Structure 1
Amino acid sequence: FFNGTERVRYLERYFYNQEEFVRFDSDVGEFRAVTELGRPDAEYWNSQKDLLERRRAVVDTCRYDYGVGESFTVQRRVQPKVTVYPEKTQPLQHHNLLVCSVNGFYPGSIEVRWFRNGQEEKAGVVSTGLIQ
């Protein structure tokens, strides 16, 4: 699906020595050579009408499979577990470095900000970024 629409595109790509040489693109509807090495394969596969029809139909299978899995993949949302704790145990009157651990969330993009008395703190804030 593309931007929430029901547009599905199927790509089948073939590589040799890390170089793509032929592909099937459902938007094109046939095999296309990417390099000269792929030309014989593309010509042969395009001459096989039953093979072409099967490849063209795969996009419908993908659309169906997407619909089945969408609810537990694309639409899945898990709230983060947030824990804030001092780096070291010190008396309350001393300044201390605070650590914020955020985990268990999905999808993987998140923004963590620090606030003191309703105002965002930007100075002295260090983030490790996403650790997987």
Structure 2
Amino acid sequence: MNTCSFFLLLCPLLFSQTEATLFGCGLLQCQFSSSGDVVYLAKMFFNKLLWADYNSTLGKYTGYTEKAIEVVDGFNKNKEFLKREQNNLELCKTHVQLVLDVLSKSAVEPSVTLRSADLSGSRHPSMLVCSAYNFYPKQIRLSWLRNGKEVTSDVMSTEELPSGNWLYQIHSHLELTHTSGDTIACQVEHASLLKPKLYEWESISESERNKFAVGAAALLLGLVVLGGGLIYNKRCTNGRQLVPTSAG
């Protein structure tokens, strides 16, 4: 039988006296098993030592020092105190199903997009943005690789942001000056993936882009000239008249 627990409340307390300062802490804990049993515990600590507790299985408080035994004896005679702890037990039971739903939720693979954005007033001419959407659980890692090596400078990332329905999103930004031949990729590591997944940014350098633009313009100009020649030739053919000749 497997047993798990979760904490409802952790409240640090500070007690000041003329002689010394006492540090106290009250901890409310729910324990539940696979068989459906639920146990509620309320623990009180002073200076890191367990001072007293309430156990729903016993239905009473227990003191662990001479002074605590004296104090909890009064607690156990107070019906309001005992009723409050019973209400906390019921609160534990209502939260168990919620915890089980979260623990049993399967990992959801993120949907990843990679895009570029122009920057104004920056020493870098462009920015790449890697976004992961609708993933679970929350823990995820986005990293940037240039030619297979991780990039650590000029990288900014958000925290995991809730998207609703227990799903999350995150965004990572890379400012860069892209040079010809570089391979830039966003690497995603998540529980839903058997191994890190790479998303490569496919782009061409500025010089290659200029060559492509010049070539496209030349091709377009050639098509225009060719089209104009065909139209002129057709008009000349339609306007030409044949003159008959007589045999000698």
For residue 10 of structure 1, what is the aligned residue in structure 2? 40
The SS at the match of 1:5 is: coil
Task: Please state how far the C-alpha of 1:3 moved relative to its aligned partner.
Answer: 3.4
Whether 2:182 is the aligned partner of 1:102: answer: no
- Runs ≥4 in structure 1, deviation > 3 angstroms? 79-83, 85-88
**Counterpart secondary structure, 1:27:** coil
Higher Rg: 2
Does the aligned pair in 2 maintain the 1:21–1:36 contact within 8 Å? no
2:105 matched to 1:76? yes
Pairwise mapping of residues 106-125 of structure 1 onto structure 2 (< 5 A)?
Answer: none
Relative to 1, partners in 2 of residues 1:80 and 1:51: Cα closer, same or farther, differing over 3 Å?
same
Listed as ranges, the matches of 1:1-132 within 5 Å are 2-71=32-101, 73-79=102-108, 102-103=189-190, 105=191
- Separation in structure 2 between the aligned mates of residue 37 and residue 60 of structure 1, nearest angstrom: 30
Q: Distance in 2 between matches of 1:80 and 1:37?
A: 55
TM-score calculated relative to the size of structure 1 = 0.56
Which residues of structure 1 form unaligned runs of 5+?
89-99, 113-132
Question: What percentage of residue pairs aligned between the two structures are identical?
Answer: 16
8 A contact 2:32–2:96 mirrored in 1: no
Q: Quick check: which one's strand share is greater? A: 2
Change in Cα spacing, 1:53 to 1:79, as seen in structure 2 (3 Å) is same
Give, in angstroms, the shift of residue 79 of structure 1: 4.8
The SS at the match of 1:77 is coil
CA shift in 2, pair 1:3/1:51, >3 Å: closer
**Take 2:51 and 2:77, find their aligned partners in 1: how far apart are those partners?**
18
Pairwise CA distance, 1:63: 0.5
Structure 1 residue 17: Cα displacement: 1.0
Instruction: Find the aligned partners of 2:48 and 2:42 in 1 and give their Cα distance.
Output: 15
Listed one character per residue, the Cα deviations across residues 33-58 of structure 1 (whole Å, up to 9, x for unaligned) are 12223112211100101211221232
- Partner Cα separation in structure 1 for residue 79 and residue 49 of structure 2: 27
Taking structure 2 as the reference length, the TM-score comes to 0.32
Q: Is the 8 A contact 1:8 1:63 kept in 2?
A: yes
Query: Residues of 2 paired with 1:14 and 1:52: CA distance?
Result: 16
Give the aligned partner of residue 91 of structure 1. Answer: none
Q: Deviations over 1:42-90 (max 9, x none)?
A: 111001012112212321211112223432x22123257799x8559xx
Would the aligned equivalents of 2:60 and 2:76 in 1 still touch at CA under 8 Å? Answer: yes
Whether the 8 Å contact between 2:63 and 2:69 is mirrored in structure 1 is yes
Unpaired runs of at least 5, structure 2: 1-30, 111-140, 151-186, 196-248
> Which residue is 1:116 aligned to?
none
